[in-house]
Chains A and B, each alone.
Chain A
Amino acid sequence: MKKNVVKKLVSIVAVGSMTAALLAGCGSSEAVAPAPEPEAAPVEEEAAPVEEAVEEAPAETAEGELPRNETLYFAGQQWGTVASWNPIGTNQNNSMAIAGGSSGYRTLVFETLYMYDPLSGSCKPLLADGDYSWNDDQTELSFKIKDAAKWSDGSAVTGDDVVATFDIGVEIGNTCGSTFGAYIDKIEADGNNVTIFSALTDDGKPVNPLFVVDFLTGTPIAQKAWIETVKDRNGGDATSILNDPGEDFVWSGPYTKYYADDQKVVLIRDDNYWGQDASMWGSLPVPKYIAHTIYADNPAGQAALQAGEVDVCQQFISNVQDLWEKDGLPISTYYEEAPYGVCLTMPTAWYNMNLPVLADNAALRKAIALAVDYDSIIANAMTNQSPTFSDVPRSLMNPTDGEQALYDHDAVKDLQWAGNDIDGAIALLDEAGLTDSDGDGYREYKGEKISLNAVCPNGWTDWQAAMEIVAAAGEKIGVEITTLYPEWDIYQTVFVDPAQTEYAIFMWSPEAASPSNPWHRVNQFLGSEYVGVENNWSGNWGQYVNKDADEIIKKIPLTTDAAEIKDMYTELTKIYLTEVPSFSLMYRPSLFHAVNESVWTNFPSADDGRGIPPLDCTDGYGIAALYGLELVQ
């Protein structure tokens, strides 16, 4: 009898704890479900519409399900839980709402003045009305705000909002302030008319007009009244303002927050969005919800794309064509054939000039670069999602027509190489006197075996495959190159250290596309202003110095004559291809753009004649895609 009691007790405890745990699990989902977060909304008037919009939404979906034919699902943009919705804060980890992509700002919730279009290299007006204009000496840039532009609380977007956005940025040192503070002196507004004054050098010339234009496409404008509210509630303290969660944000874009937790973030369309005015889009974006499940890694996101749970996937997918050619899935990319996407950047191997063997021997640098089998990198690591260096010969430019037209191809023809030129590399090394004198199969410099490492972060598989091919090239020309794959947190600590001697050849990508490119990228490749800078996230990670290049680089931003600019870029290309301080291994899209057309269709494609860049329907002018989407059924 006693034993039965014990048995019963044990089973009750066990079942009870399991049930409690299960219930707690469900409960916890509820606990993390923030719903409208009314407590975060202060009493200010402008916050009211936010609450309304967010609170009314759940009522529309009583079952808590997002209707499939009203929701556009994403993968590959949001990793980890959203930290904040504050457009003037920092580190929001809120990729769907606040993200400055390397080819255009994401304008789903907060909007920029202009949208960048990397296909045409142009700025298309968003909050701004018509084109901007410079005065003759590029010290003042003027534009007008659209009359129709409104905030979510119904008030008009004005020039004062632009001024307040810049001023608070400089005051607290947020992304806007730290990125543009050195190039913009001040912004003034008269109603809807705005003038940006370039920061000037001692001789009265603008510091860099290219970055002033970057401000137009790269800064989300926040509402002045809301900025004041945030300042007041944080007592003007910069760190508190930067870290304010901004849950009561006022937005001007077509979407706003609907739901966010550890597993997903969902935006809902604002049906009062000003952009449906004829002066902008003329209609609302088609999907009512924008949802992004937070996947643990790329394979999980890809599996969801294949299962039709994701419509737009911003992830590198190895052999993406197999998805439709072999698996018969309704998945497509911007181009039907390789390279499938628009490549805007070029992952590059940087030589560490802190190592004398590399700093002293341009022949060694060029020989390794000549010997690398780029076709193999592009075919294997990139699965042909990059033009080859025979298709687009190497230079300082990305493969877009706009940038390719910026240098004289014939003038640098003899300096370019397509790779796998083992004989040429060997001849170059022999000629430079870098020979194998002790017969161990490896060449020496000053009596010591040349031994280098090729480094990239662990788990970045396409880069790792590229580094293996670089190492193999070394073997063929008698230069020992071993691969090294540290974890990311260690890698980033070392490669931004200007004095590091641990990594000899290491990978990083320069800037992709923006109004300040290709100048910004060229400065990253050749400009010495970043040499010796601590925590160097800015450029020239190999610490290469060339005074001639510096002079030309300085002149370009202040030059307006197209022919002169072309000459200067040609000269810089010559220096780059002769000196080889780094060498690009492939071209690469800044955003991958694979779409599953089982629910939605009419995504941008190369032959649709619409000229919408494949930027995931979210970035820069790529957002235009949202207005043309159609349901399959």
Chain B
Amino acid sequence: MQGYRKYFTKKIVWFLITFFVAVTLNFFLPRLMPADPVSAITGKLAAGNADAKAVQKIYDRYAEEFGTNKPILQQYLLFLKNMFKGDFGTSFSQYPRSVSDIISSAIWWTVCLQLPAIIVGWLLGNILGALAAYIRKGWDKVLLPITIFLSNVPAFGMAVTLLVVFAIKLKIAPVAGGYAFDQIPNFSWAFIKSVISHYQLPFWSIVLVSIGGQAIGMRSMSIYELNADYVKYARFLGVKDRKIVGYVFRNAMLPQITGLALSIGTMIGGALVAEIIFSYPGLGSTMYAAITAADYPLISATTLIITIMVLIVTFLLDLIYGFIDPRVKAAQFDN
């Protein structure tokens, strides 16, 4: 048990160091871009203003407000101080909205789109991969190649294809947005129906692309496990086939769980393509807009969310592995 504790203490220390490095990079990397967001915000307000002195005053005021006129190290320390208070400041591109406000209104759209899509894609992919490995025949020759083909279509290609076919040509799905253009959010069946119908294309564009990858992984792991010595031995012993399959899939699942966890950890960035193509509100498109506008506070906050999620998920994985696979647990104890 002591080894177990030591193992996780060590892990936590490493996670904290990683977190600190990531936060530092989150702060400095956007600021290395050769763009001046204070100039952009000034331009929004003062483009064409004939009084150049007044324009300069506006620029100076924003530089002061955002602190961009301070030394970069001082800005960094301020950023750290505010970050621990949960304050990411004001957005450049959506000024004067606060970064927290922008994220809190966008994040739910992303979570609701991505989490179910990742889970459904993962489940379907794994079932398909397992069936392909176990049943072979038709599954392996027809369905699997189709899903592999689909998974090799780039995410934006899949999204555009679905958009053109189902929304523009067949007109059976809406073109853009999170709900219908003539709706105001409310608890009515019409609105819920509208949300669900707008959900379909972005959802399936993510699911279809992810099925193939999961299926391939599961299939090869399962085939490997099915040919393992313990399976042969179990068969010699006359253990029932269903029982053996249970063992096989439990072992084959391990890398798949890692894949699932990492997908969940990085889902914020992963939603980018679907969100942009379907004009779907969410954090992916928010992050994209922030990057194109050199919106440092918003970029730092969104990338920080990804960092934290990946770190938490990796940490949880370590814990869960122990429960799923006694070998891992033993290794952790030994450590």
A residues near B (Cβ < 8 Å) are: 3, 14, 17-18, 21-22, 24-33, 58, 61-66, 68, 71, 73, 80-81, 83-84, 89-91, 93, 102, 173, 175, 177-179, 181-183, 208, 211, 239, 242-243, 259, 261-264, 266, 291, 293-297, 300, 303-304, 307, 309, 487-490, 492-493, 496, 511, 516, 520, 523-524, 529-530, 533-539
Contacts and interface: CB of A to CB of B under 8 A. Distances in A.
Contacts of A208: 50
Contacts of B56: 533-535
Contact of A489 (B33, B57, B94, B281): B33
B271 to A, nearest CB: 13
B175 A178 contact: no
A63 B94 CA distance: 31
A523 B52 CA distance: 12
Nearest to B285: A296
A529 B52 contact: yes
B97 A81 contact: yes
B41 interface: yes
Interface in B67-116: 93-97, 102, 105-106, 108-109, 111-113, 115-116
Contact of A304 (B45, B181, B190): B181
Contact of B289 (A80, A307, A309): A80
22 contacts: A22-B112, A22-B199, A25-B195, A29-B179, A63-B191, A64-B188, A90-B45, A91-B41, A93-B95, A178-B45, A183-B51, A239-B65, A262-B105, A296-B279, A303-B168, A307-B175, A309-B181, A488-B292, A490-B34, A537-B43, A538-B55, A539-B48
Nearest 8 pairs between A and B by C-beta?
A25-B112, A28-B108, A64-B186, A178-B54, A296-B279, A489-B35, A243-B96, A29-B185
A173 B53 CA distance: 12
Nearest to B106: A262
Grouping DSSP codes into helix (H, G, I), strand (E, B) and loop, the B interface class, with mixed when no group exceeds half, is helix
Contacts of A538: 46, 48-52, 55
Given A21-B116, A182-B53, A535 B39 contact: yes
B52 A29 contact: no
Contact of B179 (A14, A263, A488): A263
B172 interface: no
A183 B54 CA distance: 12
Contacts, number: 233
Given A242-B96, A492-B39, A492-B43, 7 more contacts: A3-B246, A18-B116, A33-B185, A64-B186, A178-B58, A489-B293, A493-B36
Given A182-B53, A490-B33, A490-B34, A295 B176 contact: yes
Given A304-B175, A493-B34, A537-B42, A293 B181 contact: yes
B43 A33 contact: no
A487 B52 contact: no
Contacts of A181: 51, 54
Contacts of B187: 30
Nearest to A7: B246
B22 interface: no
Given A29-B195, A63-B190, A304-B175, A520 B95 contact: no
B184 A58 contact: yes
Contacts of B49: 178-179, 537-538
Contact of B177 (A68, A80, A263): A263
Given A18-B115, A303-B176, A178 B185 contact: no
Contacts of B55: 178, 533, 535-538
B67 to A, nearest CB: 13
A350 to B, nearest CB: 15
Nearest to B163: A303
A496 B96 contact: no
B184 A80 contact: no
A315 to B, nearest CB: 14
B123 interface: yes
Nearest to B115: A21
B108 A27 contact: yes
A71 B182 CA distance: 9
